[in-house]
Structure 1
């Protein structure tokens, strides 16, 4: 069965990831897996060092290094176990009775790619434990995760608030219409008000596109508000979101207009950095 995966580590983002993952798991009625990945660059698996160090008078050094590697790996595994247990307690308090705990050793992107077929949704934080502590800094792996995976990704907000409204950034592209279809068929937004927002010129053609999408979304959303706003994409979307107190922003990862350039280009990081709310990325 497809599951909600929560990618957690020892960072300050982990509690929010757990909370959003528990919410999504309940909304989707899908099992929740808490995933902790031991970064091999921080905790490399022990290798054969004899060719580098040599034997003879330095054999004792080889033995000591092997023992040190083994100890570091043991400590990392124990730290991961503690992180998973804390996450388990948190999601159980939120109503998830039997979360699955999984620990992997390797590269984050490679591990998530291997598990992709089991995913219905990935929940991840903006920052990992290796990221700088600067406010709104975006973790270095996040963009790579977004570009690599082909499943929806929920980037947790700074603090958890159960979403009461969702806003979908719409640009009229085939990808945008696919995003509408995905939301319309998803229990994630069932019963929630939805704002369908297009950045650009107001015209009869764009209004008709929005009305078509509105009709489709009414299958799931309690109501759908349409809006066409002018200006640059990033500030226009954030201004509308703030004005209407929207706590979940959704958008497709790829499109064919300014929103595509905005999202997959160099300003992707700016969006994630400037937003404190949760972001649902549809693929």
Structure 2
């Protein structure tokens, strides 16, 4: 199977950003692009308790009507999805992608993406979505389920595209983040992107050694790179560095074994993603 950039769209305000970032990634990686739309049909009649004061005959008739409405809603959702996929394909072609593919699936977002994992080189998702991506009003457990389920890089994007020029790599010397640095060094996605490797912690010999390794690895691969060790609380420190250095792409290992790990667990995940105005690349 050919590795592809998979872009999940749902018609939310973030879909245009997903299209444009996915097209950029596809062209940079020289990898085919496929748009995916998931119709999540949850029957609303099966578990409904409609007995009450309604007579048996009336109840059966009502159930039939509700079943017909569910079927109509499913057809409308599928047609809306087809139109969204068609528009996404046309937008990607305008962005320069030769032959973007489209797929529509029934089920849940997590299950669908898991089924497509073997074909996925990079997954692009909107920061928030109107339907399948959203657990409530913001990112939450649904995103974490996607991240925990898939062992592929995931690019979470805002609603407006801006070509990345400055990337911040959150680094702590762990196996996960070292692997992330090596992935960045090898990836065509970062050609022409200046990389800032940041350790949040104390100025120690070990931290300095780890930072020097990361910067050298990137420079040896031909990338522009610099490093910094910053004291403070992880999330606040990374945000401050991002603002001070005009960072337009945040790169993180999805799960580490230090304080950075907490950026993707529980409430801090929600906070970081909700406030991030730039795309976030999660590496596994």
TM over 0.5: yes
- Give CA-to-partner distance per residue, 1:244-282, whole Å, 9 cap, x none: 101000010111111113333431111101211000000
1:187-206 matched pairs, under 5 angstroms: 187-206=188-207
Q: Quickly say closer, same or farther: Cα 1:163–1:139, change in 2 above 3 A.
A: same
Q: Quickly say closer, same or farther: Cα 1:120–1:45, change in 2 above 3 A.
A: farther
| Pair 1:69 & 2:61 matched | no
Q: Quickly say closer, same or farther: Cα 1:9–1:211, change in 2 above 3 A.
A: same
**Paired position in structure 2 for 1:123:** 124
Contact 1:126 1:142 in 2 (8 A): no
1:228-247 matched pairs, under 5 angstroms: 228-247=229-248
**Paired position in structure 1 for 2:95:** 94
**Paired position in structure 2 for 1:79:** 80
**Paired position in structure 2 for 1:21:** 22
Measure how far apart 1:141 and its partner are.
Answer: 2.1
| Pair 1:174 & 2:154 matched | no
Contact 2:215 2:227 in 1 (8 A): yes
Contact 1:214 1:226 in 2 (8 A): yes
Q: Distance in 2 between matches of 1:3 and 1:71?
A: 33
Contact 1:191 1:221 in 2 (8 A): no
Contact 1:194 1:222 in 2 (8 A): yes
Contact 1:46 1:70 in 2 (8 A): no
Q: Distance in 2 between matches of 1:204 and 1:196?
A: 16
Q: Distance in 1 between matches of 2:184 and 2:83?
A: 36
Measure how far apart 1:221 and its partner are.
Answer: 4.9
- Give CA-to-partner distance per residue, 1:169-205, whole Å, 9 cap, x none: 0001111111111111111112321101000001222
Measure how far apart 1:212 and its partner are.
Answer: 1.2
Q: Quickly say closer, same or farther: Cα 1:36–1:95, change in 2 above 3 A.
A: same
Instruction: Could you tell me which runs of 5 or more consecutive residues in structure 2 were left unpaired when the two chains were aligned.
Output: none
Tell me whether 273-282 or 253-262 shows the greater mean CA deviation: 253-262
Q: Quickly say closer, same or farther: Cα 1:258–1:56, change in 2 above 3 A.
A: closer
Contact 1:189 1:220 in 2 (8 A): no
Tell me whether 25-34 or 67-76 shows the greater mean CA deviation: 67-76
- SS class of match (1:69): helix
**Paired position in structure 2 for 1:262:** 263
Q: Distance in 2 between matches of 1:204 and 1:224?
A: 20
Number of aligned residue pairs: give it: 277
